[in-house]
Structure 1
Amino acid sequence: MDGDDAGAPRTGAAARTVATLALAMLLGSLGTSIANIALPTLAEAFAAPFAAVQAVVVAYLAALTVAVVIAGRLGDRYGLKPMLVAGLCLFALASLFCALAPSLPLLIAARALQGSGAAFLMTLSMALMRQTASAARLGRVMGLLGTVSALGTALGPVLGGLLIPVAGWRGIFAVLVPLALLTLVLAIAMPAGEAARVSRASSRSGVAVIRGLVPNLLVNLLVAAVMMTTLVVGPFYLGIALGLTATQVGLVMAVGPAISVISGVPSGRLVDAGGPFLVGAVGLGLLAGGAFLLALLPNLVGVTGYVLAMAVVTPGYQLFQAANNTAALADVPPDRRGTVAGLLNLSRNIGLIAGASVMGAVFAFGVGTDAFARATPTAIAAGMQLTFLVAGALMLVAIGLVAAAHRRAGDRP
């Protein structure tokens, strides 16, 4: 192991730690996606309009976005493991409050609390993975986190769909409580690792490292925006332009998460073997190519073209994520790892919001109306094409940012 990993757990203890951190990341991702499928049920249960129950999802995402940097800073200040344990306690309690909420406003408040807990889980899991892994294996553990995150996002709607008919909407939140408690027990049993020693020198170097991460954060934001665009635009295109049923749309939309689950760990191994710059560049190239394919292929060969394009975009995303997270965390001082992990999550979340809002507006402009249900298949197809031409252009900008940053790094003495 490298020098600042001297206090990291080894062998069997390391494997248990990695499993615990992966489970924590899974919980945060499950919390993100499990409530979406319950929105119609919640609207009926609380006799509320759809716009009101959407706040159940928005409150979680907003709290998650706001709290990630705070969670990272607290982890650096008070210890990564203690703050992860605190986050798991908060997540478990908030999940219980969600399951017991007697009204929609209280459910929304509990979801905000749950999102705050998830910020600790997702941010500190990444930082603790860096503490656990040697430099030679950092890529593969970052790839594992990408796999687990994709798995949680994909499993959320499936698990929710199974639980709602049996246990109602409360069941989708109640099931998270024992999972959080199990992870809490495992986290308490984790080795503490070596505490970060903060000094003026390390603080100064930490600030310099964070400043150097600006290109990583900007590109992370752009990539997240493009990936969210696939989730926002895809259902409208598949359902209206191609005329697929809701079940067929769900099956086609599941292709991306399925590829993510398969490609996450191999992506991390490639980062360890080839280095983050090369693998990240390949990932961005695939993202750019896949975005342009989404603009062209589906309009030529229908759903087959959509699936083929997503089969290019998704591995590109996993390659980029593993490479970017590895590059960002590789040389960070121990007392800044939580902060950097928080910034990575913050840039990703801002990108997701931008993908849903800004790229959604581009799609509406291309369609000619935001009343998509009344739009013609031809108009939806035109909106799809414009949106992913813009997405491809954004990926070319991202490639330029990475190349410029790499050139500057090579020019430094």
Structure 2
Amino acid sequence: MPTERNPWPALLALVAGVFMILLDMTIVAVANPAIMTDLHADISQVVWVTSAYLLTYAVPLLVTGRLGDRFGPKNIYLIGLAVFTGASLWCGLSGSIGALIAARAAQGVGAALMTPQTMAVITRTFPPNRRGAAMGLWGGIAGLATLVGPILGGVLVDGLGWEWIFIVNVPVGVLAFALAVWLVPALPTHEHRFDLPGVLLSGIGLFLLVFGIQEGNSYDWSARIWLMIGAGLLVLTAFVVNQARNAGEPLLPLGLFRDRNFALANIAIAAMGAAMTSLMVPAYFYLQAVREMSPTESALIFAPMAIGSSIASPLIGKFADRLHPRWAPAIGFALFAVSVFWFSALMQPNSALIGFLVAAGVAGFANGCVWGPLSSIATHNLPVQQAGAGAGVYNTTRQVGSVLGSAAISALIAARMTANGLGGGQVAEGGAGTGPIPEVVKDAFSAALGQSTLLPAGILLIGVIATVLFVRHARSAPAAAPTAAEPVKAHLGS
């Protein structure tokens, strides 16, 4: 049951950590060329700098959500923040590509410990009718971080060196740790039994699936990769069967998915994660290779997206709770899809850049309609005792969606390059390191990228379908929330 103390100071203390986590998902892309040069690495090694973070972030999320329930979200958050901050310093001091990859893996573990706790604290400290505003702030920070990462990365790399994209986390992490100790309440814990078989099956299954998808292009989608992906799916199937048969306290309470809005929100957030990841890859290829922009210049093209998201998110959050749950996210997904179709049409050698700026502004407003309201809808009916598990499921879904989007867009760009007579070749992550291309192939190159951008636009339409199916929240007092032992019932309002 929500606490009586003012929950806003605690949320403000937590968003600093959330900002760092999500920033580090995008900030590295523009630093890849400098890292390659300084550490004498090849492109496949540099891709692992991002892949290691993504893997160790995605795999433990189900487990870390439940750890927060068992040992307290504040305690697990602080441990994760300490790991993340220390690993950031390790990244900045790394003298070899191997050390940097290892440090990024440690960063991912810290991020996985922190992320579910933030949503769990919101769920447990804000009453349902005030979570929209809280999630609006959370969504604004989340959207802003993922969009300004490349901009900040370009400025730091150009001005101070690639090491500073990591070192800058250290003072922020220390400040965030002090604020969390001071302002975040120590919430009651719940004596859950730890589901060891669930931990092992979910961890192994997610690792095999994510690793296979991430490395598919590196191994030309060989039989070994498909076997790994297939094995991951089989292990995850075994995990679901195990959870369904678990008569005690499973790691993944399948009763959560009896709530229609929670199930649909997970589909929608997977689509959002996949679309964001798969949009940025062709966009940065186009801006850097076709339009010959620097990393900072190309990132600034998306500045209206970041500004629009940061302005719209808190405004939308203030009145989202008074609307039918479907309206804000459905409008957001639809507008975002329109803007991405617009990006695709603009990907020509001599198109007006003002069109990109306007489309980016529309996309920013759309993001503000999605991130916060969608998180609020997903967690609105969760039992307080299962807040950590629900947050872990939600964040895992988003992260796996991001992995799927990254893998799919890389494979599609390679295929469209071949179809346009440019040959296959591997796709560098985020378009980083792509130099200017000859004038004679710019038309074909632009066409391949524009065609590939139709993928994230199409994925966003899945989000539109999922969100228009949302139903009204059940009208009940906060005290009537179900207990940990009670299943979450479907809400069938119109």
Q: Do the two structures share a fold, i.e. TM-score over 0.5?
A: yes
Q: Distance in 2 between matches of 1:121 and 1:167?
A: 28
SS in 1 for 2:402: helix
Question: Does residue 260 of structure 1 match 2:253?
Answer: no
Q: Which moved more, 1:218-227 or 1:158-167?
A: 158-167
Give the Å deviation of 1:280: 1.6
The corresponding residue for 1:222 is 271
Letter in 1 for 2:309: S
The corresponding residue for 2:74 is 81
Alpha carbons of 1:289 and 1:341: their partners in 2 closer, same or farther (altered >3 Å)?
same
Question: Does residue 308 of structure 1 match 2:304?
Answer: no
Alpha carbons of 1:18 and 1:51: their partners in 2 closer, same or farther (altered >3 Å)?
same
SS in 1 for 2:59: helix
SS in 1 for 2:447: helix
Question: Does residue 336 of structure 1 match 2:386?
Answer: yes
The 5 A counterparts of 1:147-296 are 147-164=140-157, 168-197=161-190, 207-212=254-259, 213-241=262-290, 243-246=291-294, 248-296=297-345
| Fraction of identical pairs, as percent | 27
SS in 2 for 1:33: coil
Q: Deviations over 1:301-331 (max 9, x none)?
A: 5423333333333322321222211111111
Alpha carbons of 1:202 and 1:269: their partners in 2 closer, same or farther (altered >3 Å)?
farther
Give the Å deviation of 1:23: 0.9
The corresponding residue for 2:105 is 112
Letter in 2 for 1:69: L
Asked if 2 retains the 8 angstrom alpha-carbon contact of 1:292 and 1:392, the reply is yes
The corresponding residue for 2:24 is 31
Give the Å deviation of 1:334: 1.6
Alpha carbons of 1:351 and 1:314: their partners in 2 closer, same or farther (altered >3 Å)?
farther
Q: Distance in 2 between matches of 1:40 and 1:363?
A: 20
Question: Does residue 327 of structure 1 match 2:391?
Answer: no
Match of 2:452 among 384, 387, 395: 387
Q: Deviations over 1:92-112 (max 9, x none)?
A: 222232233343212211111
Q: Distance in 2 between matches of 1:157 and 1:289?
A: 23
Letter in 2 for 1:138: R
Q: Distance in 1 between matches of 2:319 and 2:74?
A: 29
Q: Distance in 1 between matches of 2:462 and 2:8?
A: 39
Question: Which consecutive unaligned segments of at least 5 residues does structure 2 have?
Answer: 194-246, 428-436, 473-488
Alpha carbons of 1:343 and 1:322: their partners in 2 closer, same or farther (altered >3 Å)?
same
Alpha carbons of 1:202 and 1:309: their partners in 2 closer, same or farther (altered >3 Å)?
farther
Question: Does residue 127 of structure 1 match 2:175?
Answer: no
The corresponding residue for 1:65 is 58
Letter in 1 for 2:373: A
Asked if 1 retains the 8 angstrom alpha-carbon contact of 2:70 and 2:192, the reply is no
Asked if 2 retains the 8 angstrom alpha-carbon contact of 1:64 and 1:115, the reply is yes
The corresponding residue for 1:361 is 411
Alpha carbons of 1:51 and 1:311: their partners in 2 closer, same or farther (altered >3 Å)?
same
Give the Å deviation of 1:170: 3.7
Asked if 1 retains the 8 angstrom alpha-carbon contact of 2:132 and 2:373, the reply is yes
Q: Distance in 2 between matches of 1:289 and 1:155?
A: 21
Letter in 2 for 1:126: M
Alpha carbons of 1:409 and 1:316: their partners in 2 closer, same or farther (altered >3 Å)?
farther
Q: Distance in 2 between matches of 1:168 and 1:249?
A: 18
Query: Normalized per residue, which structure has more helix?
Result: 1
Give the Å deviation of 1:21: 0.8
Question: Does residue 352 of structure 1 match 2:402?
Answer: yes
Q: Deviations over 1:340-388 (max 9, x none)?
A: 2222222222222222221232233334244585682322343344334
Alpha carbons of 1:392 and 1:43: their partners in 2 closer, same or farther (altered >3 Å)?
closer
Question: Which consecutive unaligned segments of at least 5 residues does structure 1 have?
Answer: none
Give the Å deviation of 1:66: 1.4
Question: Does residue 376 of structure 1 match 2:441?
Answer: yes
The corresponding residue for 2:5 is 9
Give the Å deviation of 1:162: 5.0
Give the Å deviation of 1:202: 11
Q: Distance in 1 between matches of 2:359 and 2:100?
A: 38
Alpha carbons of 1:116 and 1:197: their partners in 2 closer, same or farther (altered >3 Å)?
closer
Alpha carbons of 1:150 and 1:9: their partners in 2 closer, same or farther (altered >3 Å)?
same
Alpha carbons of 1:293 and 1:152: their partners in 2 closer, same or farther (altered >3 Å)?
closer
Asked if 2 retains the 8 angstrom alpha-carbon contact of 1:59 and 1:112, the reply is yes
Q: Deviations over 1:117-170 (max 9, x none)?
A: 012222211221222323222112212112222333345445445555676444
Give the Å deviation of 1:27: 1.8
Letter in 2 for 1:179: V
Asked if 2 retains the 8 angstrom alpha-carbon contact of 1:235 and 1:253, the reply is no
Q: Distance in 1 between matches of 2:153 and 2:278?
A: 23
The corresponding residue for 1:42 is 35
Q: Distance in 1 between matches of 2:399 and 2:61?
A: 9
Q: Distance in 2 between matches of 1:273 and 1:218?
A: 23
Return the TM-score normalized by structure 2.
0.73
Instruction: Give the aligned CA root-mean-square deviation in angstroms.
Output: 3.2
Asked if 2 retains the 8 angstrom alpha-carbon contact of 1:31 and 1:118, the reply is no
Asked if 1 retains the 8 angstrom alpha-carbon contact of 2:28 and 2:50, the reply is yes
Q: Which moved more, 1:339-348 or 1:358-367?
A: 358-367
Give the Å deviation of 1:116: 0.9
Give the Å deviation of 1:22: 1.0
Alpha carbons of 1:203 and 1:270: their partners in 2 closer, same or farther (altered >3 Å)?
farther
